[in-house]
Amino acid sequence: MAFGTKTKTPQTYSYIAKNDSGTVVRGDLKAISEDSALQQLDRKGLDPISVSLVKESLWEKDVTFFERVPAQAIYTFTRQLSVMLKAGVPLVDALDSMKGESTNPGLNKALTQVISDVSGGQPLSSAMGKHPKLFNSMFVNIVRAGESSGVLDDVLLQLADFINHDLRLKMGIKQAIRYPAIVVGITIFVGIYAVTFILPRFSSLFSQTNIALPLPTRILLGMDQFIQSYFYHIIVVIALILFALYRYIKTDNGRFRFDKILFFSPIFGPINQKMSLSRFCHVFETLDRSGVPILQALDIAGKTVGNTFIQGRLGKVKGDVEIGRKVARSLTDHTKDIFPPHVLKMINVGEESGALDDMLKEIAIMTDVETEDHVKRLTATIEPVITVFMGIMILTLSLSIFLPIWDMYEALANR
C-alpha cells in the first residue's frame, strides 16, 4: 500500500442472511462499502437476504476523554503482537488474543474497533491511525512500512524496543528528581504551617512584653499578618497568573517561547537537550531502518522530539533535504547551536559511508548514557543544596521563636 493512499472509514452494516443449513441469521459487521460487506458474508458462507447501513448514534461514538492508556500497556501490546505474528498467528486472531489479555478498558475498546476495521478489509496501520491518542504518527508510519515490506513482525519488535527505551529513560529521570521534589515540597509546607499556625500562638505572648522582637521574628510575624490579611487575594492572583501562563503556553507562540527557554535554561536545559537529541536519533533510525521515506522520517522524528523550538529547526532541515541537500549538511546549517559538533560529524560520517542508521543508533546510545550521568550529577548537586536550604529554614524558625523567649527570661531574671 502506498503511503499517500487514503482509505474510506468503515461503517456498520446490519444484515439478514441464511447459513448452510438454511437457518436465518442476523448480525452486524464493519465494512468500507456495501460490496465489501457482501464479500465478507460470502467468505463466512452466508447467503445474504438484506444488507443495510446502520446510522451511528451519538451514544455509540468513541468517547475516550476519561480513558487513559499508559505507555507500558502500549509496549506490552506491541511486543506480544510481534511475537504472535512471528509465530505464524493470523493478524485478526492475534489482535483478538491481545484484547482478551489486556486489562486496560481504553486499550480494549480501541482494539475492538481495530479488529473490526481489519476484518472489514482495512490495513492495520489505517485502523490504528484512527486512535492517535494510543498510536501516534510514528507508530502508524512504522507499522505501515512493515506492512508494505512484509516484515510487520520485525518492525513491531523494533518499535517495542524503542517504546521500552523511552519508558526506561523517563522513569530514570523521574526517580532521580522524585526525592528532591518531595523534600522541597515538605519543607515549604512545614515552613508555611509554622508561619501561619505555630508562630501566631506566640505572638500574643510577645505582645504582652516590652522587649524588642528580633529581626527574624518581626519578618515572620509580618509575613503571617500579610497572609492573614490578603489570603484570598493571594490565592486569586496566583490562580490568575497560573491560568494566564497555561493559556499562553497552549498557544503556538507561547509553547515555542516556553520550549526555547527550557532548552537553554542552566539547570534542566542540558537534560532537555540530550533527551531531544536521543529521541530524534532513536525515532529517525527506527523509521529509516523500517523503510519509511527520508522526508517522512525527518518530519515524524521532528514532531516527536517533544520541543517545538527544535521541531522548527528540524522543519528547516526537511525543507533543505526536500530540494536535494544531504541530511548532515542541513543539520549542520540549522542545528549547530542545538546538536553538539561531534554528533553532527558522526551523522556526516554515517551518511557518507552509507551507514546512517547504525551511526544514529550509536549516537542515541551514547546520548542516553550521558543523560543518565547528567541526571545523577544533578541529583548529587541538588541534595546538599536542599540540606542547606532546610537548615536555614529550620534555624530561622527556631530563632524567631526562641530568641524572644530567651529575652523574656533574661528580663524576668533581672527584675
Which grid coordinates are listed for 8? 474510506
pLDDT at 101: 66
The architecture of the domain spanning 71-161 is Up-down Bundle (1.20)
In the chain, where are the structural domains located? 11-60, 71-161, 162-415
| Residue type present at position 207 | S
Q: Please give the full DSSP string across 84-135, using - where no structure is assigned.
A: HHHTT--HHHHHHHHHHH---HHHHHHHHHHHHHHHTT--HHHHHHT-TTTS
Q: What is the pLDDT along the chain (415 residues), one digit of tens a residue?
A: 333 334 455 677 778 888 888 787 777 777 777 788 888 888 888 888 878 776 654 334 443 444 567 888 888 888 888 988 888 888 888 888 877 666 677 888 888 888 888 888 888 988 888 888 888 877 887 788 788 777 788 888 888 887 887 788 778 777 777 777 788 788 788 877 877 777 777 766 666 666 777 787 888 888 888 888 888 899 999 999 999 999 998 898 888 999 889 888 887 788 888 888 888 888 888 778 777 788 888 888 887 787 888 888 888 988 888 888 888 889 988 888 888 889 899 999 998 888 888 898 899 889 888 888 887 787 778 778 888 888 888 888 788 777 777 877 776 666 6
Q: Please give the full DSSP string across 331-362, using - where no structure is assigned.
A: HHHHHTTTS-HHHHHHHHHHHHHT-HHHHHHH
Q: Which value, to the nearest 10 degrees, does the dihedral of the CA atoms of residues 230, 231, 236, 237 take?
A: 60
CATH of region 11-60, choose from 3.30.1340, 1.20.1150, 2.40.128, 3.10.20: 3.10.20
pLDDT at 240: 96
DSSP state letter for 7: -
pLDDT at 325: 87
Question: What number of CA atoms fall less than 13 Å from residue 263's CA on the CB side?
Answer: 20
* 71-161 and 162-415 share one fold: yes
Q: Three-state DSSP class for 184?
A: helix
- CATH, domain range 162-415: 1.20.81.30
